[in-house]
């Protein structure tokens, strides 16, 4: 279940009669958590947008390559006299286009790999943060359970008097 920064900011803790949590401290901590989660979410969204943009650029260059191939084939059919020269020129243009397309594709793949690594790192940071937060909450709940037991013992000792 995903928890949003708004849910964290609006979460209300139950109040205890005695030895309760410092509400200002808890709310301050929740605000910090919400800010951190919001920041991670924004970074994740920015990276996803960048990946989409880079993927679109690769498609654009593939269309350019396809268009160039079609243009070269049409030129060969139209010019029988210049067939040999047109073929040589087409091969040079195609090789150049392929080199540029391959270079751009390699750069794009490298960038996608880098962004994917950053996303994984951010996800790992998020998971680590959530694990620490859950552990802190479990510790606090255990503390409250222990304190609740002490309150019950105090009530029982007052009843005996």
Given this model, what pLDDT does residue 159 score? Answer: 63
Asked if the structure places residue 42 within a domain, the reply is: yes
Given this model, what pLDDT does residue 4 score? Answer: 78
Given this model, what pLDDT does residue 22 score? Answer: 74
Asked if the structure places residue 44 within a domain, the reply is: yes
Per-residue pLDDT tens digits for 115-132: 999 999 999 999 999 999
Per-residue pLDDT tens digits for 137-152: 999 999 999 998 776 6
Given this model, what pLDDT does residue 124 score? Answer: 96
**Which residue range(s) make up the domain with 93?**
22-146
Report the percent of the chain where pLDDT is more than 90: 47
Asked if the structure places residue 160 within a domain, the reply is: no
Asked if the structure places residue 133 within a domain, the reply is: yes
Asked if the structure places residue 38 within a domain, the reply is: yes
Asked if the structure places residue 125 within a domain, the reply is: yes
- Rounded distance between C-alpha atoms, residue 55 and residue 110, angstroms: 12
Q: Which of helix, strand or coil describes residue 22?
A: coil
The residue written with tokens 């995903």 in the block is 2
Length of the chain: 161
Low-confidence ranges of the chain (pLDDT < 50): none
Given this model, what pLDDT does residue 154 score? Answer: 66
Asked if the structure places residue 4 within a domain, the reply is: no
Number of domains into which the chain is organized = 1
Query: pTM for the full model?
Result: 0.34
Asked if the structure places residue 1 within a domain, the reply is: no
- Rounded distance between C-alpha atoms, residue 90 and residue 95, angstroms: 8
Question: Which among 39, 11, 65, 1 is positioned nearest to 122, based on CA atoms?
Answer: 39
């Amino acid at each position: 279940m995903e928890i949003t920064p708004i849910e964290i900011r609006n979460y209300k803790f139950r109040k205890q009669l005695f030895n309760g949590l410092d509400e200002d401290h808890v709310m301050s901590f929740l605000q910090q958590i919400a800010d951190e989660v919001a920041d991670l979410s924004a970074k994740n969204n920015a990276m996803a947008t960048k990946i989409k943009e880079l993927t679109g650029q690769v498609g654009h260059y593939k269309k350019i390559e396809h268009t160039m191939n079609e243009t070269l084939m049409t030129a060969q059919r139209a010019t029988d006299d210049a067939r040999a020269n047109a073929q040589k020129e087409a091969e040079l243009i195609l090789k150049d286009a392929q080199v540029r397309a391959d270079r751009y594709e390699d750069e794009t793949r490298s960038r996608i790999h880098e962004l994917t690594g950053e996303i994984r790192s951010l996800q790992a940071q998020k998971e680590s943060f959530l694990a620490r937060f859950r552990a802190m909450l479990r510790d606090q709940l255990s503390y409250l359970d222990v304190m609740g037991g002490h309150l019950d013992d105090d009530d029982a000792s007052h009843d005996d008097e």
